[in-house]
Amino acid sequence: MSADAEAPKDEKPAAADRRSFLDLLIRGGLLAGAGAMAAPTVAYLWPARAGGGKTAKVSAGPVKDFPVGSARMVQAEGKPIIVIRAAEDRFRAFSAICTHLGCVVKWDSGSGKIRCPCHAGVFGTDGKQVSGPPPRALSEYEVSIVGGEVVVTL
Ligand code: FES
């Protein structure tokens, strides 16, 4: 046989290599595309499966410097929080954002109430609306005493 007769045999393995390479490329592209489409869904669902996301803790200062009947404003994650010492062993923390139109509420030590300066909304030390236009109570946060500090958990 001549060398010309063997030439097509050499081309078939090269064509098969090209074909398998293209198959591999297409499968890899499809797999990468599927991964790219699934990644945002997995990222969205991951915190929910882990228990609802992160929690933040912020100190409102030492218990000894927090007289009964007083309140403090603290910030956590950009949110104003009002912390009240309603009794000797009773601390409560609420979002300081009024549930009416979002003004920042303030503690009124004279009346022992939380007041909104915008439309005269009034809340009790339990965070529930007492009078005025606020449609619902202030959101409450957990308070604990850790090493003599008043700690609010968001
Ligand atoms: S915003 Fe607080 S009473 Fe209107």
| Cα-based distances in Å from 91 to 1, 22, 154 | 100, 68, 15
- Average pLDDT of 39-68? 76
pLDDT band (50, 70, 90) for residue 5: very low
Locate 109 and state its tokens: 């030590």
Going by CATH, does the domain composed of 57-153 fall within 1.10.443.10?
no
CA distance 150 to 152: 7
DSSP 62-127: EGGGS-TT-EEEEEETTEEEEEEEEETTEEEEEE-B-TTT-PBPEEETTTTEEE-TTT--EE-TTS
Give the pLDDT band of residue 48 (cuts 50, 70, 90): low
Query: Does the C-beta of 130 come closer than 6 Å to ligand 1?
Result: no
User: Does the beta carbon of 133 sit less than 6 angstroms from any atom of ligand 1?
Assistant: yes
Q: How far is the CA of 127 from the centre of ligand 1 (A)?
A: 14
Residue 87 above 80 pLDDT? Answer: yes
pLDDT at 86 over 50: yes
**Ligand 1 centroid – CA 122 distance (Å):** 9
Backbone CA torsion sign across 50, 54, 55, 57:
positive
Beta-bridge partners for 124: none
- Give residue 138 CA to ligand 1 midpoint distance, Å: 12
Phi/psi at 9 (5° precision): -65, -35
Look at 5-14, 23-32, 72-81, 123-132 and tell me which has the smallest mean pLDDT: 5-14
pLDDT at 21 > cutoff 90? no
Res. 18: pLDDT tops 80: no
Q: Taking the CA of residue 10 as centre, how many other CA atoms within 13 Å lie in the half-sphere pointing to its CB?
A: 5
What is the per-residue pLDDT across 94-144, written as a single tens digit (0 to 9) for each? 999 999 999 999 999 999 999 999 999 999 999 999 999 999 999 999 999
- Which residue type occupies 27? R
